[in-house]
Amino acid sequence: MARSNRSRGRAARAREPHPELDVDRLTAGWRRTELRDGREWNVQPVSETQALKAYVCPGCGLDVPSGVAHLVTWRADGVLGDAADLAARRHWHTHCWRIGAR
C-alpha cells in the first residue's frame, strides 16, 4: 500500500465547526473617535458598496456621489445627547476630513 503524504491533522481540523462571525463587532471596529478643535467626533468609514446615496460634503460643498467611499462624522460629546448627535451626522470626502476643511 502506498504511503500518503497528506497531514491527518488538517482533515480533523476541517471537520471542526467555525465560530460564527460577529458582524456588529467587526463593523464597529472601523468606527473611531477623533479629537478636532477641542471636540470629540465619531468617524465611520463608508465603503463604495455601502455608499448608496449622494451627499454634499460640508468641507468643500461638492457632491459625494453614490458609489464613492467617504466618511460619516458626528459629535461624540454633544450636549443634546447621542440621538441628536447621530441625527446631525455629515458625509465628508475622506480628503476633506483629513485636511480639516470647515
pLDDT at 91: 96
Distance between CA atoms of residues 102 and 93, nearest Å: 12
SS3 state at 9? helix
Count of structural domains within the chain = 1
Helix, strand and coil content of the chain, in percent to the nearest 5, comes to 25, 25, 50
Predicted confidence (pLDDT) at residue 29 exceeds the cutoff of 60: no
CB–CB of 64/92 below 8 Å? yes
Domain that holds residue 92: 31-99
Q: Are 92 and 60 in contact (CB under 8 A)?
A: no
Residue 85, in any domain of the structure? yes
Q: What is the pLDDT of residues 44-87, one digit of tens each?
A: 999 999 999 999 999 999 999 999 999 999 999 888 888 888 88
Answer whether residue 8 is part of any domain.
Answer: no
- Domain-embedded: residue 20: no
pLDDT for position 86: 85
Residue 7 lies in a domain: no
